Amino acid sequence: MTIYSGPVFEMAATQFGVIADYLAIPEDVRPRILMPKRAVTVSCPIHRDDGSIAVFEGYRVQHHLTLGPTKGGTRFAPSVDIGEVAALAVWMSWKCALAGLPYGGAKGGICVDPSALSNREREALSRRYMQEMIPFVGPHTDVMAPDMGTDEQVMAWFMDTYSMYQGKTVAEIVTGKPVRAGGTLGRREATGRGVAYLTRRVMNDLQLRISGATAVVQGFGNVGSIAALELYNDGVKVIAVSDHTGALYRAAGLDIPDLITHAAKHGSLAGYSSELACDPAEILTLPCDVVIPAARERVIDADVADRLRCRIVAEGANGPTTPDADLVLARRQNEIFLIPDILCNSGGVVVSYFEWVQDLQQLFWEEEEVVRRQYQILDRAFDQMVVRARRDRVFNRTAAMAIGVERVRDAKHTRGLFP
Ligand code: GLU
């Protein structure tokens, strides 16, 4: 039992156990690599619009400092607790190490339903959270970014609150900011763009025709909607999408640009069409070429994994597949190619890294350079995963995580016990 105990941290620990066995990491070294270096819980009081005071609980978990500052998003969601945040921080570590970024993993969040807040309340909560975090973060300590329920505007409030305290602009304290406030071109699109890029790469490797292929996308936030749009622009028929309000299905392919316009105007897919509505629980198992879970953790369990009827699973979300489902997918790996989360959605943190570098240097890149360098890093990580999976005849997730874990292990071994 630890303060992190709960289903999501158990899942991260189980996955780590598989990798540690495969890498033959001695028992006494394992907690050193898995357990977060530090975690903080804060209370964030705000004035509600009706004049009352509400207090929200916020967290930040910094997994390790072995390779540089910690890096990771901040989530505003009702499901957030310290165990989920810790698991997400651990996954960020393997993700950053696999991409070769000079970071450890972190994650933070507030247990709140952001759709129940007015814009003023959201600003007050964002600012208060960052204010509470000031002693624990810094451009060379821990750098935040967006995640579920947060966006560029929240990052701008975080940056502004930290900067007020410092008495100067410190753009490099967070990434995922609006371009007009020190952000980088290509960050908003980066995660979805990376998901689509790797999906196309696997489709080419499997000799699947891209134009006319079919895809299902679960989640229509920043990751799902951009991935769907990129694929739509390549001629892929996105036959089903869903968000927390419901799902839509159209065998001939949905009009993704139109759906994005609707979601931007109304905040969700709700109200788009009652004719196209379908059961959200069923979309992952529709027959199609590509399934993209881009919403929450643990949506593909062993039963769903058994019933998948696709060629590629491209994990846009963090932790969408349970360890039990991994056993099924490993057995089915000749039928279904898995692009594991720590690779598939790493385009976001890769471009966050570019944003941090640009802010530190005050030298800004063209979007074309951002995208070119992003794809270069994704290709390198993908190649390393495939080579490793073939060499050791292991599942893609095992290969990808092992590369990340061993980089952290080796750096810790070389440095000592501090980080
Ligand atoms: N929240 C994103 C993730 O889970 C991005 C993190 C970042 O850019 O630092 O990868």
pLDDT tens across 83-139, in order? 999 999 999 999 999 999 999 999 999 999 999 999 999 999 999 999 999 999 999
- pLDDT attached to residue 192: 98
Tell me what percent of the residues of the chain surpass a pLDDT of 90.
99
For the domain spanning 188-344, the CATH number is 3.40.50.720
**Cα(170) to centroid(ligand 1), Å:** 19
The Cα 258–Cα 356 span in angstroms is 33
Using 50, 70 and 90 to split pLDDT, how confident is the model at 417? confident
**Cα(89) to centroid(ligand 1), Å:** 10
Q: Is 37 a catalytic residue?
A: no
- Give residue ranges with CB within 6 A of ligand 1: 71-73, 145, 147, 175-176, 318, 345, 348-349, 352
Nearest Cα to Cα of residue 82 among 39, 123, 127, 47: 39
Average pLDDT over residues 16-32: 97
Tell me what percent of the residues of the chain surpass a pLDDT of 70.
100
- pLDDT attached to residue 396: 98
pLDDT one-digit tens code per residue, 255-312: 999 999 999 999 999 999 999 999 999 999 999 999 999 999 999 999 999 999 999 9
Is-above-0.85 flag for pTM?
yes
Select which of 37, 71, 95, 107 is catalytic: 107
pLDDT of 142 over the 90 cut: yes
**Both structure tokens of 156:** 């701008």
**Cα(117) to centroid(ligand 1), Å:** 23
Average pLDDT over residues 243-254: 97
Q: Where are the beta strands (DSSP E) in 95-245?
A: 104-111, 142-146, 214-218, 237-243
**Both structure tokens of 188:** 């908003």
| 8-state DSSP, 307 | H
CA of residue 315 relative to chain centroid, distance: 9
**Cα(73) to centroid(ligand 1), Å:** 5
Q: Ligand 1: which of 191, 195, 223 to mutate, judged by most atoms within 8 Å of the beta carbon?
A: 191
Nearest Cα to Cα of residue 145 among 173, 166, 119, 121: 173
Phi, psi of 298 (to 5 degrees): 55, 40
pLDDT of 419 over the 90 cut: no
Average pLDDT over residues 233-238: 98
Asked if domains 36-170 and 188-344 share a fold, the reply is: yes
Q: Ligand 1: which of 158, 345, 346, 349 to mutate, judged by most atoms within 8 Å of the beta carbon?
A: 349
Alpha helices in 183-239 (DSSP H): 187-205, 222-233
36-170: what fold? Answer: Rossmann fold (3.40.50)
Residue boundaries of the structural domains of the chain: 36-170, 188-344
Q: Label the pairing between strands 290-293 and 214-218.
A: parallel
pLDDT one-digit tens code per residue, 194-222: 999 999 999 999 999 999 999 999 999 99
